[in-house]
Amino acid sequence: MFGYLVGRLSQAVVVVFVMSVIVFVGVYAIGNPIDVMIDPGATAEIRENLIRQYGLDQPLWRQYFTFVGNVFQGDLGRSMVYNISVTSLVFSRLPATLELVLVSVTIAAVIGIPAGLYAGYRPNSIAAKLIMALSVLGFSVPTFWIGMLLIMAFAVELGWLPSGGRGEVGNFLWFQTSLATTNGWSHVILPAINLSLFKLGLLIRLTRAGMVEAMGAEYVRFARAQGLPDRQIVFSHILRNISIPVVTVFGLELGSTLAFAVVTETVFNWPGIGKLIIDSILQLDRPVMVSYLVMVVILFVIINLTVDLIYARLDPRVRLKGGS
For residue range 232-254, what is the model confidence (pLDDT) as tens digits? 777 777 777 777 777 777 777 77
For residue range 163-194, what is the model confidence (pLDDT) as tens digits? 888 888 887 777 778 888 888 888 899 999 99
The pLDDT of residue 322: 45
Whether pTM > 0.95 for this model: the answer is: no
Q: Kindly list the domain boundaries of the chain, sorted by start residue.
A: 2-72, 93-282
Q: What percentage of the chain reaches a pLDDT higher than 90? A: 3
Superfamily the domain 93-282 falls into: MetI-like (1.10.3720.10)
Give, to the nearest 10 degrees, the angle between helix 182-215 and helix 243-259: 150
Name the burial class of residue 70, with classes exposed (0-12), middle (13-18) and buried (19+) by CB atoms within 10 angstroms of its CB.
middle
CA angle, 84 as apex, 78 and 88 as ends, to 5°? 95
What is the C-alpha to C-alpha distance for residues 303 and 11, in angstroms, rounded to an integer?
Answer: 14
For residue range 21-80, what is the model confidence (pLDDT) as tens digits? 887 777 776 666 666 666 666 677 777 777 777 677 777 778 788 877 877 777 777 787
What is the C-alpha to C-alpha distance for residues 242 and 112, in angstroms, rounded to an integer?
Answer: 14
Interacting residues of 193 by C-beta distance below 8 A, sequence separation 6+: 104, 107, 150
The answer to whether residue 324 scores a pLDDT higher than 50 is: no
What is the C-alpha to C-alpha distance for residues 71 and 35, in angstroms, rounded to an integer?
Answer: 26
Residues 192-211 have a mean pLDDT of: 87
Interacting residues of 9 by C-beta distance below 8 A, sequence separation 6+: 305
Q: Are 78 and 70 in contact (CB under 8 A)?
A: no
Which three-class secondary structure string do you get for 54-90? Answer: CCCCCCHHHHHHHHHHHHHCCCCCECCCCCCEHHHHH
